[in-house]
Chain A
Amino acid sequence: EADIYQTPRYLVIGTGKKITLECSQTMGHDKMYWYQQDPGMELHLIHYSYGVNSTEKGDLSSESTVSRIRTEHFPLTLESARPSHTSQYLCASSELYSEQYFGPGTRLTVT
């Protein structure tokens, strides 16, 4: 079954640590996205990619970086985690520009 996966689902980590959030999809979609979601707030786009070796920053300023070396894989990295990075991170993919499919999310807590 085609799907989109995120690991880890939950992560508690100390300030200053480097972390990588993994996202993989088996749908063959060219377009992939990372969103940040805080409770009761809109999803904010932080990074997106329209294909291999293509990455762009989204609307919300983020200290994270992304890479897209393979179509199915779109990891997000924080070089030095801070408490302000505590949030839920959602990965999505799409074939069309509008119809996006989401992974289960990674809930990150930085202590």
Chain B
Amino acid sequence: QKEVEQDPGPLSVPEGAIVSLNCTYSNSAFQYFMWYRQYSRKGPELLMYTYSSGNKEDGRFTAQVDKSSKYISLFIRDSQPSDSATYLCAMSAGGYNKLIFGAGTRLAVHP
């Protein structure tokens, strides 16, 4: 079983929709949670960074962490065609522990 599970999609939504992207994980030691956005043929771009449980908001993006359920989410409000990309979750226990990535969810926002 993979340490981090992420639905590969693709997820297709109309412009303006609220998008929910999710990851589950098995390692209860994970404390640092990240969401990356990756456009086709580009490197991943750090979108959101959260430590431990709770919510974090940045513009149209909200990251949620529920450590009791080992579940993290990224919400995108008022989605735009420019949000079309692959979204990767990543997490780490911190210290010298490595970053573990999900396989990514491909999102398409159509006008």
A: residues with CB less than 8 A from B are 6, 40-43, 45, 48, 58-59, 90, 92, 97-105, 107
SS class of chain B's interface: helix, strand, loop or mixed?
loop
In the bound assembly, the distance between CA atoms of A103 and B41 in angstroms comes to: 11
User: Quick check: A42 and B101 within 8 Å, CB to CB?
Assistant: yes
SS class of chain A's interface: helix, strand, loop or mixed?
loop
Total inter-chain residue pairs, C-beta < 8 Å = 53
User: Quick check: B94 and A101 within 8 Å, CB to CB?
Assistant: no
Q: B103 within 8 Å of A by Cβ?
A: yes
- Which residues of chain B come closer than 8 Å to A41, judged between CB atoms? 103
- Which residues of chain B come closer than 8 Å to A90, judged between CB atoms? 43-44
In the bound assembly, the distance between CA atoms of A28 and B44 in angstroms comes to: 20
Interface size of B by Cβ–Cβ distance < 8 Å?
A: 26
User: Quick check: B44 and A42 within 8 Å, CB to CB?
Assistant: no
Q: Can you sample 10 A-B contacts with CB below 8 Å? A: A6-B43, A40-B8, A40-B104, A59-B98, A90-B43, A97-B96, A97-B97, A98-B49, A98-B99, A99-B49
Q: B92 within 8 Å of A by Cβ?
A: yes
In the bound assembly, the distance between CA atoms of A39 and B103 in angstroms comes to: 9
User: Quick check: B41 and A98 within 8 Å, CB to CB?
Assistant: no
